[in-house]
């Protein structure tokens, strides 16, 4: 194998909240590198995952959903998504085809209409910046083939896409073709990560993300976007395991009992499930200790943003 045969580069995965970006990144990488929930705005900052395709290394950049921002954190998230796209060798725009079709038929739920609006604004953003993207119509497991053709033609007609892939990130259908195409688009050059590395997030941050995923899965309805998780200690134990201490921050006193649950049952569930995932990802025993604290203004603290690589002044 000659040096010249190597390829490496970045592929940014952008799209509306809940389109399936993180699911796709995990699928392309073949490991869990970024968290997934059924709720919008799960991903808060760009997360890298490394996929190998023959001689090509594709560094996938999972980005927060692009939507109409209201709060500071929203603005920072959306800004980081566009920045991720700017610096990439390829952009994949993931669209929830099921939501798009439901919204176009007029019968969709509010969430479907919102998703369709966000798709419009992403297309406008691509037009404004003169960037071309690969369109990935996702969630095709939920729709009929004949519905897909019209959607594909309509979106392709916008003139911002170089090609269209129809995929199901959840069952992997069509994903290998997309991966092969991304590999071709990577520029020639040395690999950016060791061949066997899949994730790029520091262990402390990854651990906090896994706990946030469980928190979202369990109490999101009662706790909309008011929680953050920080790993406060990460040490080695004698049995070769990791001792991880974390704090869940909520914005109000009234939210503490929601996270704790009756008799501490909710927090116990979150801890057990996070520990299980972490032990698997880190491949060693994990001892996890979580406390819940009120920190009214965490989403207005500069330090919180810099810790995640987000801009504060946006
Ligand atoms: N049926 C189906 N569901 C999918 C597919 N891909 C993702 N999902 C589901 O869609 C939901 C959102 O997935 P995520 O991967 O978290 O979406 P995201 O685009 O990263 O969302 P944000 O980080 O909030 O912007 C989850 O419940 C996934 O299981 C798919 O191909 N088919
Ligand atoms: Mg995500």
Is the per-residue pLDDT at 1 higher than 50?
Answer: no
**Residues 138, 173: one domain?**
yes
* Closest-lying ligand 1 atom to the alpha carbon of residue 23: 15
One domain for residues 104 and 35: yes
Rounded to the nearest integer, the mean pLDDT of the chain is 94
- Over residues 125-171, the pLDDT tens digits come to 999 999 999 999 999 999 998 999 999 999 999 999 999 999 999 99
Specify the CATH number for the domain of residue 52: 3.40.50.300
Distance 107 CA to ligand 1 centre (A): 21
Asked if residue 191 belongs to a domain, the reply is: no
Output the domain CATH number for residue 211: 3.30.300.20
Whether 32 and 121 share a structural domain: yes
Top mutation candidate among 36, 93, 172 for ligand 1, by most atoms within 8 Å of CB: 36
pLDDT at 178: 98
* Maximal C-alpha separation, the chain: 62
Taking 90 as the threshold, does the pLDDT of residue 224 lie above it? no
Name the domain count of the chain.
2
The residue whose CA has the least distance to atom 12 of ligand 1 is 18
Q: Is the pLDDT of residue 263 over 70?
A: yes
In this structure, the number of other CB atoms found within 10 A of the CB of residue 113 comes to: 15
For residue 237, give both structure tokens. 């134990």
**Nearest-ligand number for the alpha carbon of 98:** 1
Ligand 1 atom at shortest distance from the alpha carbon of 26? 15
Among 185, 219, 235, where does a domain finish? 185
pLDDT > 70? residue 2: no
Domain boundary among 185, 220, 251: 185
- Ligand 1, CB within 6 Å, residue ranges: 15, 17-23, 36-38, 40-43, 64-65, 138-139, 141-142, 168-170
Same-domain status, 176 and 268: no
pTM assigned to the model = 0.95
| Whole-Å CA distances, 287 to 8, 216, 266, 293 | 37, 21, 18, 20
How confident is the model at residue 242, as a pLDDT? Answer: 96
DSSP 89: S
Q: What is the pLDDT of residues 84-100, one digit of tens each?
A: 999 899 999 999 999 99
Q: Which of 150, 185, 220 is the last residue of a domain?
A: 185
Q: Are residues 42 and 165 in the same domain?
A: yes
Under the banding of pLDDT at 50, 70 and 90, the label for residue 5 is confident
The reply to whether 114 and 218 lie within a common domain is no
Ligand 2 center to residue 2 CA distance, Å? 37
Tell me how far apart the alpha carbons of residues 202 and 211 are, in angstroms, rounded to a whole number: 15
Residue 154 located in a structural domain: yes
Residue 223 within any structural domain of the chain: yes
Regarding whether 140 and 103 lie in a shared domain, the answer is yes
Mark whether 165 and 242 lie in a shared domain: no
C-alpha dist (Å) from residue 185 to 34, 111, 164, 195, 225: 23, 33, 15, 19, 36
CA distance 31 to 88: 22
pLDDT at 222: 73
Q: What pLDDT is recorded for position 4?
A: 55
Q: How far is CA 300 from the centre of its chain?
A: 22
Kindly give, in sequence order, each residue whose CB lies less than 8 Å from that of residue 113, ignoring residues fewer than 6 positions away: 103
Q: Are residues 43 and 78 in the same domain?
A: yes
The residue range of the domain holding 264 is 203-307
- Encode pLDDT of 107-130 as tens digits: 779 999 999 999 999 999 999 999
Same domain as 152, residue 37: yes
CA distance between the termini of the chain: 47
Q: Once rounded to an integer, what is the mean pLDDT over residues 195-205? A: 91
- Return the closest-CA partner of residue 49 out of 65, 28, 64, 66: 28
């Amino acid at each position: 194998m000659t040096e010249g045969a190597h390829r490496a580069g970045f592929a940014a995965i952008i799209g509306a909240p809940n389109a399936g970006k993180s699911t796709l990144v995990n699928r392309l990488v073949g490991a869990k590198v970024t968290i997934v929930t059924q709720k919008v705005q799960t991903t808060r900052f760009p997360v890298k995952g490394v996929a190998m395709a023959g001689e090509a290394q594709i560094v996938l950049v999972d980005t927060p959903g692009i939507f109409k921002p209201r709060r500071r954190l929203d603005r920072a998230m959306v800004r980081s998504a566009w920045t991720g796209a700017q610096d990439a060798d390829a952009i994949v725009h993931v669209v929830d085809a099921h939501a798009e079709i439901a919204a176009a038929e007029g019968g969709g739920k509010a969430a479907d209409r919102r998703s369709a609006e966000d798709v419009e604004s992403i297309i406008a953003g691509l037009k404004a910046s003169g960037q071309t993207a690969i369109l990935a119509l996702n969630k095709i497991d939920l729709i009929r083939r004949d519905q897909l053709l019209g959607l594909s033609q309509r979106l392709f007609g916008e003139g911002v896409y170089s090609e269209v892939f129809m995929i199901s990130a959840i069952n992997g259908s069509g994903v290998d073709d997309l991966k092969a195409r991304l590999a071709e688009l990577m520029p020639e050059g040395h690999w950016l990560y060791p061949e066997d590395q899949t994730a790029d997030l520091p262990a402390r941050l990854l651990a906090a993300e896994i706990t946030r995923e469980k928190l979202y899965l369990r109490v999101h309805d009662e706790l909309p976007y008011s929680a953050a998780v920080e790993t406060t200690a990460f040490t080695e134990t004698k049995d070769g395991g990791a001792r991880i201490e974390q704090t869940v921050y909520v914005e109000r006193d009234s939210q503490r009992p929601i996270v704790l649950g009756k008799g501490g049952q909710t927090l116990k569930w979150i801890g057990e499930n996070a520990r299980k995932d972490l032990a698997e990802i880190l491949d060693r025993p994990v001892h996890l200790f979580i406390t819940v604290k009120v920190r009214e203004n965490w989403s207005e603290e500069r330090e919180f943003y810099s810790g995640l690589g987000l801009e504060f002044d946006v």
